[in-house]
Amino acid sequence: MPRNGSKSAGSGRSRSGIRAGQTIIDTFEIDSAKRRAKIVGCLAGFFAGLVTGAIASIFQDDATAFFWAVIAAFTVGFVAAVLVLIWPGLRMAWHWAGELILLAFVVMVWALFNAWAGPLVALGATLLVLGVPWLIRPVCRFLVRWAWCMIVRHRIRVAADAFIEGKGVRGSVMPLILWAHPTAAGERVWLWLRGDLTLEDLRSRLTELASVCWADDASAESAGSKAAFVVVDIHRRDVLAEGVAMPVTEMLEGIDPDSYPVEYRRVDDAEGVDLTPESVNAELDALLGNKGGRKPRQRKADDGQTATTATNDGPDEGELPAWV
């Protein structure tokens, strides 16, 4: 009997009901791949044979054209069916691509040392090759950042599985995790959503996404014109809160402040300051090096401004005619 009220296998598929017996590849995906492989194989073979027979009948007799049509239908249908059938495995292989590449590298290193000096020396040399990079600080930082990228890809898949299960979707299709890249604040992951999970679903559950990824915060945005193409940013550290190096002190080392050609004079409060136009113009001429005083054009402009001001003021009250 199913426990916790889960549905039986005959009444439909329940993700929570098969979780205990779930393998690396979902059994529902395997069954669905088998059905789709049969359909795709038959359709691809039929159309390939039809097109091949029509083309071959132009150049050869009917028997030979029929023979080539059968060969093309069988070949194309078989290849299409195999690709559809192994697609869940290919997708899982892509999901574990980083770990598989690392495993292949370890096996290759061990095989090379084993062929050269024996199994014990090969084991020690392999451990040395894998352990020394972690003692070098820049290399260790690089490896840790990419290791988090591989971890985040798995954690996002776990989060997507939980989100889809929370929606109660049967026969759901998991998003395709395309690529992950380290950033200054954490990791950036590109996803291809496939119907059962949308960008709005991710945005509404960013807190849970960050919690599943063991991070401080998360954000999700569209990565292109397609709604299914999404980029997720996982934030593990606040870059703005960290200390930022300011090289101003190093830039000013060895510079004597008295070496600047700027001349200034400090005026005390008790000394008083003369702010009349004549004194200000004299100071400006002295600073600018105008020995002959201000330029004639500037004087003419000042005279014109003074004349305009006097004209606009109008006559004095004592000069008004008697009839006003």
Q: What distances in angstroms separate CA 252 from CA 211, 247, 261, 275, one per listed residue?
A: 46, 9, 17, 36
Strand partners, 18: none
Q: What pLDDT does 16 receive?
A: 43
Q: What pLDDT does 11 receive?
A: 40
**In the block, which residue shows the tokens 């292989």?**
93
Q: What distances in angstroms separate CA 107 from CA 111, 131, 164, one per listed residue?
A: 6, 15, 37
Q: What pLDDT does 9 receive?
A: 41
CA distance 154 to 174: 12
Angle between helices 97-117 and 62-95 (to 10 degrees): 90
Does the pTM exceed 0.95?
A: no
Beta carbons within 8 Å of 289's beta carbon, 6+ residues apart: none
Q: Which of 67-81, 122-136, 161-175, 252-266 has the lowest mean pLDDT?
A: 252-266
- Model pLDDT for residues 31-89, shown as the tens digit of each residue: 778 888 889 989 999 999 999 988 988 888 888 888 999 999 999 999 999 998 888 88
Residue with the larger pLDDT of the pair 274 and 215 = 215
Closest C-alpha among 176, 170, 175, 195 to residue 28: 170
Residue with the larger pLDDT of the pair 19 and 239 = 239
Secondary structure element (H or E) that encloses residue 217, with its range: strand 217-222
CB 40 within 8 A of CB 81: yes
CB 33 within 8 A of CB 84: yes
- Model pLDDT for residues 197-230, shown as the tens digit of each residue: 888 989 999 999 999 999 999 999 998 888 889 9
Domains and CATH numbers, the chain: 24-95 (no CATH), 98-135 (no CATH), 147-235 (3.30.980.40)
Q: What pLDDT does 119 receive?
A: 83
CA distance 180 to 153: 7
* Ramachandran angles phi, psi of 13, nearest 5°: -95, 130
